[in-house]
Amino acid sequence: MSAPVEIMNVPLRHATASTRGAKQSNEDRYVSVVDRFPGPVFGVFDGHGGVSAAKYLVRHLVQNVIYAVEAYIGHERVQDVAEVRSAYEDDAMKLDQLTKKMEMEHCCLKNVGEWKQEVDGDDTEISEIEADLRKVCNRLQAQVDEIASNEVKRDVHLHNFWSFIKNHFASTVRTTFHRTDEALLQALPSNDGSTAVLVWLIGHKPSDLTIYAANVGDSRAVLCRNGLAVPLTRDHTPDQPDEMKRILKHGGAVAQFEGVARVYSPGALQKSTEPSVKKRLAMSRSFGDRPLKIPQECVTCEPEISHVNVTEDDWFLVIATDGVWNALSNQEAVDIALQHFDDPKTAARAILGEAYREGSLDNITATVVQFAWQDDVKRARHHVARQH
């Protein structure tokens, strides 16, 4: 993986909690990478039939996307923008220093003016001091204006850079998911599989930020917007009309087993009244799951990718495996996390605890990503809580 590239100014707080829950082992995995181009990314993977696929995805999926994005952007351009970002931050420090110095000089100028009035303005020496102070203030103001002008130019440059990335990002992620799944099937002898949901924050500052959510399977990502849950993904289950149509087109079958719709490999239902677990699956998209992809691709790794521009009403993300969502609604998870806006670890643990108390029988994993620039939520959350 490439070296860290500091090209963003997006303050975040994040944490993940994970437990095996009622199961004997934990097949969930998760990832968070906050210091790599093209931006912070958080994800969860829910393994089934083993944990090999989920482990492989943790090691390779995000890395592969990073390489793919850098390939079409070009490493030199990435480094150029990193330098622009660094200059942006250097000037911010200079501006702070200049502002403080200007405040001091203006204070001195005010004192001299009052002193001049006391002597009826006839003191030549005081007038010279006043003139010198005005020159200093004007010189400092000119430096401030120059920094402000440079900041506007850099902001336009960074906005155009990130717009270019956003125009190509979804297609790059889609292609990379397929290539990663192909590599996974070649590298692993096992037949297990995994869900995947990855959420990227793309942009150079909160007011120019876009959230991208790429999903395969029934793990889920939810955005808290003004206290309300906004789904960023949908669960991929075989009984959804579009998913069933695709499965049947590729020779698979969809049937209920233990009250849950499942996809079956070609001929699996006819061979036995108790078909092999390896040839059925309760989701219609996944990584791995060789028997459902070879020779016919009844299950696909094609991600659904959504994107949404961040607004001033967006507070945090909850990204979790179905151990959470089988027990809690989107809004219930958001309500729990909202009570711990300044502490993502406590928020993630609280979601796990409530899911377990509500009877979740699966592994349970939740990641909470809080937008740290929204600290006024500490006040707003109490207002929202009273409304529910």
Q: Is 367 helix (H, G, I), strand (E, B) or coil?
A: strand
Sign of CA dihedral 171, 172, 175, 180: negative
Give the pLDDT of residue 129. 80
Give the pLDDT of residue 5. 41
Give the pLDDT of residue 295. 87
DSSP 292: G
- Which of 16, 31, 25, 64 lies closest to 48 in space, CA to CA? 25
Alpha helices in the chain (DSSP H): 52-73, 75-118, 124-187, 241-249, 268-271, 322-325, 330-338, 344-357, 377-387
In one letter, which amino acid is 94? K
Give the pLDDT of residue 269. 65
Give the pLDDT of residue 156. 76
φ, ψ of residue 218 in degrees (nearest 5) = -115, 15
Who's near 26: CB < 8 A, 6+ residues apart? 18, 19, 20, 363
Q: What are the mean pLDDT values of the chain's consecutive 10-residue runs (388 residues total)?
A: 48 95 94 91 96 98 95 77 68 75 78 71 72 80 76 74 88 97 96 97 88 98 97 96 94 89 81 56 96 92 97 95 97 96 96 96 96 70 51
Judge contact between 211 and 200, C-beta under 8 A.
yes
Give the pLDDT of residue 345. 97
Give the pLDDT of residue 1. 35
Q: For the chain, report the end-to-end CA distance as a whole number of angstroms.
A: 45
Q: How many CB atoms lie within 10 A of CB 360?
A: 22
The model's pTM: 0.82
- Which of 202, 231, 219 lies closest to 65 in space, CA to CA? 202
Give the pLDDT of residue 7. 47
Q: Which domains are delineated in the chain?
A: 12-49+193-387 (3.60.40.10)
